[in-house]
Amino acid sequence: MVLHMETTYSVKGMTCEHCVRAVTEEVSKVAGVTDVKVDLAAETVVVESESKPDAEAIAAAIDEAGYELSDSPAAP
Ligand SMILES: [Cu+2]
């Protein structure tokens, strides 16, 4: 059985479809990631992966795309 999990990250600064594509492209390159879904309105990136994603690798990918991972997803 393949382990499947979804992890939601809050990302600041995404404003349009171009941002969505940039983030999706970079995060998709992270090892173990099988799918990336960006919700612009909610400013979240949902990462589907085979195992728990490397938080540093995800943060680096988002940084590489030019956006900022929010450390406080619960904040208003
Ligand atoms: Cu944009």
**Domain boundaries in the chain?**
5-70
Give the pLDDT confidence of 25-47 residue by residue, as tens digits.
Answer: 999 999 999 999 999 999 999 99
pLDDT the model gives residue 56: 92
Tell me how far the alpha carbon of residue 29 lies from the centroid of ligand 1, in angstroms. 20
User: Residues within 5 Å of ion ligand 1 by Cβ?
Assistant: 15-16, 18-19
- Determine the distance separating the centroid of ligand 1 and the alpha carbon of 22, expressed in angstroms: 8
Joined tokens for residue 39: 């919700």
Looking up tokens 């600041």 gives 12
Report how far ligand 1's centroid is from the alpha carbon of 28 (Å): 18
What share of residues in the chain are helix, strand, coil (percent, to 5)?
Answer: 30, 30, 40
pLDDT exceeds cutoff 60 at 5 = yes
**Architecture label for domain 5-70:** 2-Layer Sandwich (3.30)
CB 36 within 8 A of CB 47: yes
